[in-house]
Amino acid sequence: MSEGQPAIWRFLSIFKSVVRMLPHKRAVALGGWLGLLVAKATPVKFREACGRCERILGVSKERAEEIVRGSYRHFGSAAAEFARMPAAARDIDSLVTYSGLEYLRDAADSKRGAILVTAHIGNWEYGAAWVAHQGFPVNALGADQRDRRITDLIKELRESAGVIALGKAGDLKAMVSALKRGEFIAVPVDQDAKEFGVVSPFLGFPASTPTGPERLAARLGCDVIPIFCIRSGDGITIDVKIYPPLKGRDGKPFGADIQESADDLNEILSDEIRRHPEQWMWMYPRWESVERGIFDDSGN
């Protein structure tokens, strides 16, 4: 890892300074406008995302463009919100509505730890910040960026909200230790797991799916709790929706059957994306491993 993205770093530094000077609503609007500008400046990526959306959702070309344009706008706004995290974390209760808090309290009382599973939809960073603000020890998994300064900035912003920056998603030892301490781990599970996943339907199409939550639940008996942080109609408020802890089929614990548990979790993620397609990351090639033939008919 190096300081190999000077132009991106300069832009992020200016962006962070500007949105922190603006009132929250104007900063979110500016972020959304910049997101749309990125869509215009990257026409190939935009068309790829539109084609992906059209095929997966079975919508018209015009509707797919509308959805993807909304996605670019949304993630621009989310970037502005994340850059403002040190100030926003102090006022997080005024920016968030919620339901299902009792499931987090029950998980904390059990001392078994919990994995809070989500997707790259809405503003998942605000979700983690809000959970930490409620007094729960929450760890966020991350990945090293190509520029070390960007990795450090993400860690700094998360820690400013009281979120523990746990490290890489592959750091099994750190995850097990946190769960054994009765802490929470927040992790998006909607990315291509490549050769390390199992094939499971995602929005109705086969995708390589990570199985870390299922395997940790089977090993440690921790809860796996879906949580989503969706932007509301006013464009500012984030609605945190917490599901009950997941159960396996036929009375089995969640994770006892890896394939069934992955399928059930993917269906929950897919339902949420179908409800709010403009807030999901269509720019990401979620189905790429299967489409490129990494898996055969029997899986990996």
- For the chain, 300 residues long, the average pLDDT of each consecutive 10-residue run is 72 92 96 97 97 98 98 97 92 93 96 95 93 94 79 89 78 88 95 94 97 95 97 93 96 96 98 98 96 68
Q: Judging by beta carbons within 10 Å of its beta carbon (0-12, 13-18, 19+), is residue 159 exposed, middle or buried?
A: middle
Give the residues across from 206 on adjacent strands.
Answer: 201
- pLDDT confidence of residue 141: 82
Q: Is residue 59 part of a domain?
A: yes
Alpha helices (runs of H) in the chain, residue ranges in sequence order: 6-21, 24-41, 43-57, 61-83, 85-88, 92-95, 101-110, 124-133, 148-160, 172-180, 212-220, 258-275, 288-291
How are strands ordered across the β-sheet holding 164-168? 96-99, 238-242, 223-231, 114-118, 184-188, 138-142, 164-168
Q: Give residue 268's identity as a one-letter amino acid code.
A: I
Question: How many of the other CB atoms lie within 10 Å of CB of 197?
Answer: 23
Q: Is residue 31 part of a domain?
A: yes
- pLDDT per position as a tens digit, 168-185: 666 788 889 999 999 999
- pLDDT confidence of residue 296: 59
Number of domain units in the chain? 1
200 close to 207: Cβ distance less than 8 angstroms:
yes
Q: Is residue 135 part of a domain?
A: yes
- pLDDT confidence of residue 169: 60
Q: Is residue 265 part of a domain?
A: yes
- pLDDT per position as a tens digit, 38-51: 999 999 999 999 99
CA distances to 101, 117, 120, 135, 194 from 187, in Å: 18, 5, 10, 18, 17
Q: Is residue 292 part of a domain?
A: no
Within 13 Å of residue 133, how many CA atoms lie on the same side as its CB? 21
Q: Is residue 191 part of a domain?
A: yes
Q: Is residue 1 part of a domain?
A: no
Range of the domain at 256: 6-287
Q: Is residue 239 part of a domain?
A: yes
Closest CA relative to residue 186, chosen from 208, 162, 152: 162
Q: Which two tokens stand for residue 214?
A: 């299922």
